[in-house]
Amino acid sequence: MTAIEKVYDPRRFERRWYEHWESLGVFTADPASDRPRYVMVIPPPNVTGRLHMGHALNNTLQDILARWRRMRGDDVLWLPGTDHAGIATQMVVDRELQKEGSSREALGREAFVERVWRWKEEYGGAILGQLKALGCSCDWTRTRFTLEPALSRAVREAFVRLWEDGLIYRDRFIVNWCPRCRTAISDLEVVPQPIAGRLYTLRYPFAEGEGFIDVATTRPETMLGDTGVAVHPEDERYAAFIGRKVRLPLTDRLVPVVADPFVDRAFGTGAVKITPAHDANDFAAAARTGLPALLVMDEGGRMNDNVPAPYRGLDRFEARARVIEDLRAAGVLIEVKDHPHQVGHCQRCGTIVEPYLSMQWFLRIAPLAEDAVRAVADGRVVFTPAHWVNSYNEWMGKIHDWCISRQLWWGHPIPAWHCGACGRLMVARATPERCDACGKTALSPDPDVLDTWFSSALWPFSTMGWPDDTVDLRTYYPTTTLVSGFDILFFWIARMIMMGLKFRGEAPFRSVYITGLVRDAEGQKMSKTRGNVVDPLDLVDRYGADALRFTMAAMATPGADLPLSEERMAGYRAFANKLWNAARFVQMNAPAEGETPAAPAGGGALHGAALALSDRWILSRLERLRGEVDEALAAFRFDEMANALYRFLWHEYCDWYLEMSKPALIAGGESAARTRRVLGEVLECVLRLLHPVMPFLTEEIWQALPERTGETIARAAYPRPGEGRIDAAAEREIDLLVEVVTRVRNLRAELNVDPGRKVPLLYQAHDAEVGALLAREGGLLRSLARLESVEAVPAIAARGLAARAVAAGVDLAVPLEGLLDVDAEKTRLRRELDKLTREREGHAKKLQNADFLERARPEVVAKVRGIDQELGEKIDRLARTLRTLESPGAP
Ligand SMILES: [Zn+2]
Ligand SMILES: [Zn+2]
């Protein structure tokens, strides 16, 4: 047995135990075993990523589940890996090249991709090492990367099958386009931000005859790409104009007035310009009304040759200024007004996103969504919290085809080839040698790569060897649980369900736990601009991984965000420290060699009449704790699990049980030996209960206990409910003793009795059972309340000057004679009362001041009220004590 170090310093042992677990292969799944399976795939962090608080939360919760199930005897697979994160990674290397005075274009596609791979080998995946610092028990032998060859094969296979089933097509469509990144980006990558925009009203005159139509726009440069004006079909103001043509200012083009019910009659003039190539709504309206699309910008956001000569080559914002000027000069700019509104910005580079018509690949997703909705509706996949099902269904109900292509170089190439001779488009698993239509060999690969989320959607089975029929796939698919943030419910979770059903016939997981968002202490979202981002590795360094993990668990109330305060984390660091010191106390009182035969885990052998009341009580409380933890974990109530462990360890075990054990330990002999066994066994058992949340600390202490069996606590059996028994009588009796002790302690404090001083206690029991208990447990009572004597009296009121209190079924009195100088104490109390009363008056004045109540912030007012109330209670207590001293015999 090694001695537990004096000071709790997690840095000294965290890494050591992680290496110990790895060397024992604790985290490695074993498909050959016949144990029940418990499987999770990690939400793969970006290969460029660095651990943030979202990861810390998400992975702590997964690790709690993995460690819990492993200790329960399951064969656990927690499969880790990283995502190649197309656009994010490409930008990292872009920036590197820029610093070197080079560029992606200068390097060329092949060399660039090679360069990204080199970057990935050198720096990528650092985040996995950071997960180890957090204690995550992933099966590192199965680490995957979404762009590794095996997973690329899965991506190609999935793409080809979807193509063969007619679910993938290529078409011109409006997408979110970043002119700086020069690629389509997903809705997820578009960040709406408020801008101080303007609304411009333009006047389009009719081509023939008198009159005009006014239209409003926030992006006047797009008018160069207008191909029509739309009005509502039932709008009487415009009924006569439908079918007529207007002359588009600054151009020589004539465009028609069309009717479409999407127009909002009440907004602006009730007529809208239609720019199909640069607005998603207009694109849809154009498709309905047969208007053509005219692209007026290139991929970099510069005006192209489809606009009149003066604007060609201008950046879209230069073009805007020029168009406004020219419209004004032409007298057709009718009104300009301020119009603050939200505009989408590129998440990666901050550029304003342009709706842009371009040739893209799409996945027809509605048929896949139907199956995915059914899988959730009929309970094959269960969401916690359940309300996320509503968001899921709502999104699935209005789902539109998924643009799966990106104009990047880093990613899975789309497995398609274009024939230069006959224009044939071929999709194939392997690079074709010749065109299957004309037989020519002039084939060029499609330049696009797939959206990163396409490969992520296959993650639960591509990581297990699909499309091959591997042992892992047969054993571990479908997985059991997925733990993820809500921000990727649609982009990832929903698509995994679709793809799992499509390619495996089974949803990829049985339950989904959706975490809240880690916010700062004030409840604000963490962001670089606010400067309130907290680095989990920094927290690990300062508080230890266990305190961070415990904080995450304790705050993980389903459906709620987590306002992270350092105070709270410091509190859980203190909790770890408390446990550490308790373990040292237990170790110092450990059974002597040969004193105790090894008892079975869980304290089963210790139950019986021979045990002291306090022993029976703590074993009963432990039994309840086992039940609470089991129930909490089964329901993803990490918070309830943490709180139950905290309450038991801090309050019941440390505050009360350790104190209760002292008389027996001092007495020596058989009762001391028994108490030592209970102390040790309860500690050993609660360490196992706590291990999934605080793996390092529990291992460090567990290794020093004589009660342990095995090489690591990570493989010890998880305590289950029903191993001990609930001893309701012992709990009732200890509750009563605790109440009596608390009352006496309060009396002592109110009377200002020196903590070292022992006092006598008189009691008059009104309940025979209570009387018997106090008579029987006088020794325990004396030790806990620092009493010199405990005496039952028939009529407590007759006993002269005494401080009195009432507990359930019993009156208590501490005689004051000889205990304190009553006159001096009275003077002290009066002085104290005066002081507090004056202090309270000051606060009361504030609270009566209407000006203060009106102007002060609500939290300041609440604080003053709180102080006022606290002072009031203190004053009442002191006044009561003073009355006791002034009139002997009064309660
Ligand atoms: Zn961008
Ligand atoms: Zn051909």
Size of the chain, expressed as the number of residues it contains: 891
Task: Tell me how far the alpha carbon of residue 190 lies from the centroid of ligand 1, in angstroms.
Answer: 9
Tell me the residue type at 4. Answer: I
Q: What distance in angstroms lies between residue 447's CA and the mean position of ligand 2's atoms?
A: 18
Return the pLDDT at 859.
81
Nearest ligand atom owner, CA of 349: 1
**Residue entry with tokens 């703590």:** 618
Distance from residue 175's CA to the centre of ligand 2 (Å): 29
Whole-number pLDDT of residue 17: 97
| CA of 189, nearest ligand number | 1
**108-122, 441-455, 602-616, 664-678: which range is least confident on average?**
602-616
Using the mean position of ligand 2's atoms as its centre, give its distance from the Cα of residue 431 in Å. Answer: 15
Task: Grade residue 487 by pLDDT with cuts at 50, 70 and 90.
Answer: confident
| Distance (Å) from CA 425 to ligand 1 centroid | 29
Model confidence pLDDT, tens digit, residues 292-301? 999 999 999 9
Looking at the CA of 441, name the nearest ligand: 2
**Range 400-409 average pLDDT:** 90
Longest dimension (CA), the chain: 117
Coil/strand/helix, residue 717: coil
Inter-residue contact 186 to 408 (CB < 8 Å): no
Residue (of 379, 382, 384) closest to 638 by Cα position: 384
Among the bound ligands, the one closest to the CA of 418: 2
Which ligand sits nearest to residue 301's alpha carbon? 1
Residue 869, pLDDT > 60, answer yes
- Tokens for 531, please give them: 């400067």
Ligand at shortest distance from the CA of 434: 2
Cβ neighbours, 10 Å, residue 563? 16
**pLDDT band, very low/low/confident/very high, at 714 (cuts 50, 70, 90):** very high
Nearest ligand to the C-alpha atom of residue 417: 2
Strand blocks (E) in 739-860? 759-765, 787-792, 802-807, 810-815
Q: Identify the pLDDT of residue 606.
A: 53
Min mean pLDDT across 275-289, 484-498, 775-789, 810-824 is at 810-824
- Model confidence over 97-111: pLDDT tens digits? 999 999 888 999 999
Q: pTM for the whole thing?
A: 0.86
Cβ neighbours of residue 44 closer than 8 Å, sequence gap 6 or more? 80, 81, 82, 83, 144, 146, 456, 459
What gap in Å lies between CA 57 and CA 552, rounded to an integer?
6
- Is residue 811 very low, low, confident or very high in pLDDT (cuts 50, 70, 90)? confident
The alpha carbon of 426 and the centre of ligand 2 are apart by a number of angstroms equal to: 9
Contacts (Cβ under 8 Å, ≥6 apart) of 745: 785
Over residues 172-177, the mean pLDDT reads: 91
Residue 207 neighbours by CB under 8 Å, 6+ apart: 244, 245, 246, 247, 254
Q: Quick one: which ligand is closest to 422's CA? A: 2
Nearest bound ligand to the CA of residue 421: 2
- Gap from CA of 91 to ligand 1 centroid (Å): 9
Ligand 2 centroid – CA 156 distance (Å) = 22
**What's the confidence (pLDDT) of residue 602?**
43
Answer yes or no: are the C-beta atoms of 734 and 614 closer than 8 Å. yes
Q: Is residue 196's pLDDT more than 50? A: yes
Ligand 2 mean position, distance from CA 443 (Å): 8
**Residue 440 CA, ligand 2 centroid: distance in Å:** 6
Report the alpha-carbon distance of residue 369 to residue 376 in Å, rounded: 11
Indicate the angle between helix axes 566-588 and 545-555, nearest 10 degrees.
Answer: 120
**Residue 832 scores a pLDDT above 90:** no
Is beta strand 168-178 parallel, antiparallel or unpaired with respect to 183-185? antiparallel
**Ligand with the closest atom to the CA of 444:** 2
Between CA 410 and CA 109 the distance in angstroms is 9
Alpha-carbon distance 588 to 853, whole Å? 57
Å from CA of 164 to ligand 2 middle = 19
CA of 351 to the centre of ligand 1 (A): 6
CA 39 to CA 100: how far, in whole Å? 45
Report the separation in Å between the CA atom of 298 and the middle of ligand 1, taken as the mean of its atom positions: 15
Calculate how far, in angstroms, residue 487's C-alpha sits from the geometric centre of ligand 2: 44
Q: Which residue has the higher pLDDT, 527 or 26?
A: 26
The torsion angle over the Cα atoms of residues 760, 766, 772 and 774, rounded to 10 degrees, is -30
Strands (E) located in 372-495:
382-384, 402-403, 405-406, 416-419, 425-427, 443-445, 449-450, 479-485
Task: Calculate the dihedral angle through the C-alpha atoms of 351, 354, 356, 362, rounding to the nearest 10 degrees.
Answer: 60
429: CA distance to ligand 2 center in Å?
18
* Structure tokens that stand for 377 in this block: 């509706």
| pLDDT of 601 above 70 | no
Q: Which numbered ligand comes closest to the C-alpha of 436?
A: 2
Task: Tell me, in angstroms, the distance from the centre of ligand 1 to residue 338's CA.
Answer: 27
Alpha-carbon distance of 636 to 627, in angstroms, equals: 14
Q: Cα(360) to centroid of ligand 2, in Å?
A: 21
* Region of residue 603 (phi > 0: left; psi between -120 and 50: alpha; otherwise: beta): left
Alpha carbon of 415 to ligand 2 centroid (Å): 17
* 3-state SS class at 513: strand
Cα separation of 138 and 682, whole Å? 29
Instruction: Name residue 131's amino acid.
Output: L
Ligand 1 centroid to Cα of residue 177, in Å, is: 8
Average confidence (pLDDT) over 766-779 = 91
Helix ranges, 691-767 (H): 695-702, 728-750
Smallest-distance ligand from the CA of 426: 2
Ligand nearest to the CA of 178: 1
Residue 373 sits at φ, ψ, to 5 deg, of -65, -45
Strands 254-259, 245-247: parallel, antiparallel or unpaired by DSSP?
antiparallel
Q: In what order do the strands lie in the sheet with 212-217?
A: 212-217, 190-205, 333-346
Quickly list DSSP for 173-236.
EEEEEETTTTEEE-GGGEEEEEEEEEEEEEEEEBSSSS-EEEEEES-GGGGGG--EEEE-TT-T
Model confidence at 469, pLDDT cuts 50, 70, 90, reads very high
The DSSP bridge partners found for residue 761 are: 790
Q: How far is the CA of 589 from the centre of ligand 2 (A)?
A: 86
What is the Å distance from ligand 1's center to 350 Cα?
6
Q: Distance, CA 110 to ligand 2 centroid (Å)? A: 25
Distance in Å, CA 664 to ligand 2 centroid: 93
- 3 state SS for 726-741: CCHHHHHHHHHHHHHH
Mean pLDDT of the chain: 90
Q: Is the pLDDT of residue 272 over 70?
A: yes
CB atoms within 10 A of CB 854: 8
Please state, in angstroms and rounded to a whole number, the distance separating the CA atoms of residues 763 and 765.
6
Centre of ligand 2 to C-alpha 420, Å, is 7
Tokens of 655: 């505050």
For ligand 1, the distance from its centroid to the CA atom of residue 299, given in whole angstroms, is: 12
Under 8 Å between Cβ of 245 and 255: yes
Contacts 24+ apart (CB under 8 A), 864-871: 867/843, 868/840, 868/843, 868/844, 871/836, 871/839, 871/840, 871/843
Q: Which residues surround ligand 1, an ion (CB under 5 A)?
A: 178, 180-181, 346, 348-349, 351
Q: In the structure, what pLDDT confidence band is assigned to residue 799 with cuts at 50, 70 and 90?
A: low
- Tell me the ligand closest to 435's alpha carbon: 2
Ligand nearest to the CA of 420: 2
537-591 tens-digit pLDDT:
999 999 999 999 999 999 999 988 999 989 999 999 999 999 999 999 998 887 6
Residue 151's pLDDT band, with cuts at 50, 70 and 90, is very high
Band the pLDDT of 592: cuts 50, 70, 90. Answer: low
Ligand 2 center from residue 423 Cα (angstroms): 6
Per-residue model confidence (pLDDT) at position 325:
95
Interval between CA 345 and ligand 1 midpoint (Å): 8
Q: Which ligand is nearest to the CA of 432?
A: 2
- What is the CA(448)–ligand 2 centre distance, in A? 20
Which ligand is located closest to the Cα atom of residue 408?
A: 1
* pLDDT > 70? residue 75: yes
